[in-house]
């Protein structure tokens, strides 16, 4: 499993102004435009989360990708922002004992949920407390034809009010576009890599 943690490469834009339908549409367009620009130099996941932080205030994120197997979900990539490298290992270890949201998310891909420490067993809640997580918004996108899935999570600490319904709806609106934008970005990276490789003599470039 590939695990990476970052701090914002550039400070997230300040939350400003009303989040109107036109602003959400502009954000979705930017995700797909950046997805095509695979030579932009910025990894898509932290870039997308930095942009989202200009729409709603949150302090850290998880973006988990994996595949469903007969034995359950298998995570193959985790990207966190402002969490520290050891967070995911500590948190995921508790899910082996109890995962109260996993089945709900699998049954309802594309739906985002509001969560707090009270929604998890004590051991999981203790990990959240240790990392200063008081509330979150999370949702899963799943491709039933391939078994792949992505889970994107926003976190807030005690210094901010818990997430509410408006933030949940915004997360739900953007969730499928984050995942599809990421896939477009990865295809572009592969294409750019292939184009940069020298081909057989006489092949057009």
Strand partners of residue 115: 136
Among 54, 55, 78, which Cα is nearest to 65's? 78
Strand, helix or coil for residue 153: strand
pLDDT (0 to 100) of residue 75: 87
How many Å apart are CA 197 and CA 205, to the nearest integer?
10
pLDDT exceeds cutoff 50 at 11: no
pLDDT exceeds cutoff 80 at 137: yes
pLDDT per position as a tens digit, 57-69: 999 999 999 988 8
Dihedrals phi, psi of 109, to nearest 5 degrees = -60, 140
pLDDT per position as a tens digit, 150-190: 999 999 999 999 999 999 999 999 999 999 998 888 776 65
Strand, helix or coil for residue 54: coil
The DSSP secondary structure of 109-161, one letter per residue, reads: TT-EEEEEGGGS-HHHHHHHHHTT--EEEEEEEEETTTTEEEEEEEEE-TTSP
């Amino acid at each position: 499993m590939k695990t990476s943690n970052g701090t914002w490469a550039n400070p997230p834009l300040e939350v400003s102004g009303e989040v109107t339908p036109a602003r959400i549409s502009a954000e979705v367009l930017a995700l797909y435009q950046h997805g095509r620009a695979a030579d932009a130099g910025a990894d898509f996941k932290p870039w997308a989360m930095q942009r989202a932080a200009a729409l709603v205030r949150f302090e850290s994120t998880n973006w988990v990708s994996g595949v469903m197997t007969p034995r359950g979900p298998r995570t193959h990539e985790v990207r966190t922002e402002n969490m520290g490298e050891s967070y995911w290992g500590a948190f995921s270890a508790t899910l082996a004992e109890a995962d109260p949201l996993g089945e709900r998310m699998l049954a309802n891909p594309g739906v985002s949920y509001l969560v707090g420490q009270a929604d998890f067993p004590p051991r999981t809640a203790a990990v959240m407390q240790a990392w200063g997580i008081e509330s979150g918004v999370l949702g899963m996108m799943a491709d039933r034809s391939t078994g792949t899935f992505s889970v994107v999570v926003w976190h807030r600490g005690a210094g901010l009010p818990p997430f509410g319904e408006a933030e949940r709806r915004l997360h739900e609106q953007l969730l499928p576009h984050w995942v599809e934008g990421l896939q477009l970005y990865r295809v572009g990276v592969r294409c750019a890599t292939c184009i940069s490789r020298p081909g057989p003599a006489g092949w057009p470039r």
